[in-house]
Amino acid sequence: MSDLASFRADLLAGPYYMGNEDVISSLAWKKVGRDEMVTSAEEGAKHASDMEKQANTDHDNEGSEGGEGAGADDLNPVGLTVVAMVSPENCYLTPCANWNGPTEFDPSFADIKLNCRLVAPSNSPFAGDFQIAMKTITKLMAQVETDGYKKSGIFNFKENPKIGFKIRHIVFEPKEEDDGDELFVLQDWPVKNAAAKEALEGMENSHQVIPIRAYDVDGDLIPPTNYMSKLSGAVVRATLTLSHWKIGRDKRDTYTADIESLWVLVPASVAGSRRLPGTSPSPKKKARHGGA
């Protein structure tokens, strides 16, 4: 059995590989603040029980000071894994998102998000797994959809049949007082134009930058300036978290797939060949700033 087939067998044996038809039975949507996120069925059940106990405690202590209860911080979303190709036609991973001033979706530079589209890898054992993953995501979305609401976010809902889905990465987050060493110095973040550079300088005391945890075939962290050249067209193992929230004024259900990590299995230069090489990243390889 080739390394690639062995790697796939390991994924199928894991709990959250989206190419496994049975994975949906291990998952559940649970409330995190105003959003809902996919977590494990076991943790979701425990969280629901804790929240119910807290609600009962609050009721019993009505009129008095209550203790700390279970909340959003107590629930961890699961990292869902899929093997896919990063679509060269829909890859927008330029570190500064080509931001050149306020837009409707990104009023400030701090709001930018990088995104790309995952599609089925050609001529590989993972092509069928990707179709299963698409169906699983569709089923998960249906579990929390709102009657009469439009859907937006992950899929292009005008596309029929659907051939891929969008994933994203939030680049900046507000600084917290107890934040330790940053993974990437804010002022070193690559920008292309004067507007983005000026905005970045104004964010020094308010935000920190979060690079994509993207790794090449050797397990080395890919620098932001190489996101496009290393990831566009490559076959990757993507680990994602799924979220959902409702926008009442627009009657819209919004779904997002946020990147936890991307690990290149097959570089773009060979990903389009008829037979994918029997190579995969070693789970023992330690990349800088943590594993994938």
pLDDT digits (tens, 9 = 90+) for 130-141: 999 999 999 999
Assess if residue 278 is contained within a domain. Answer: no
Assess if residue 87 is contained within a domain. Answer: yes
Residue 161, preceding peptide bond in cis (omega within 30° of 0)? yes
- Token output for 97: 């998102």
Instruction: From 216, 285, 281, select the one nearest 4 (Cα to Cα).
Output: 281
Assess if residue 285 is contained within a domain. Answer: no
pTM for the structure as a whole: 0.84
Minimum mean pLDDT range among 18-27, 55-64, 96-105, 157-166:
55-64
- Token output for 266: 């097959």
C-beta of residue 212 within 8 angstroms of C-beta of residue 227: yes
What values do phi and psi take at 132, rounded to 5? -65, -40
Assess if residue 237 is contained within a domain. Answer: yes
pLDDT at 240 over 80: yes
Assess if residue 46 is contained within a domain. Answer: no
C-beta of residue 262 within 8 angstroms of C-beta of residue 238: yes
- Burial annotation 221-250 (CB, 10 A radius, 16+ → b, else e): bbebeebbebbbbbbbbbbbbbbbbbeeee
Assess if residue 14 is contained within a domain. Answer: yes
Minimum mean pLDDT range among 121-125, 147-151, 241-245:
121-125
Average pLDDT taken over every residue of the chain = 84
150: confidence class by pLDDT, cuts 50, 70, 90: very high
Assess if residue 192 is contained within a domain. Answer: yes
Instruction: From 25, 64, 30, select the one nearest 49 (Cα to Cα).
Output: 30
Q: Which residues span the domain enclosing 184?
A: 3-19+82-271
- The CATH number assigned to the domain holding 258 equals 2.40.50.140
Beta bridge partners of 247: 252
Minimum mean pLDDT range among 141-155, 183-197, 214-228:
183-197
Average pLDDT over residues 225-248: 96
Q: Strand 252-266 vs strand 150-152: parallel, antiparallel, or unpaired?
A: parallel
Q: How many domains does the chain have?
A: 1
Chain segment 41-96, per-residue pLDDT in tens: 876 566 555 555 554 444 445 544 433 444 445 668 999 999 999 999 999 999 99
178: confidence class by pLDDT, cuts 50, 70, 90: low
Assess if residue 61 is contained within a domain. Answer: no
What's the full length of the chain, in residues? 292
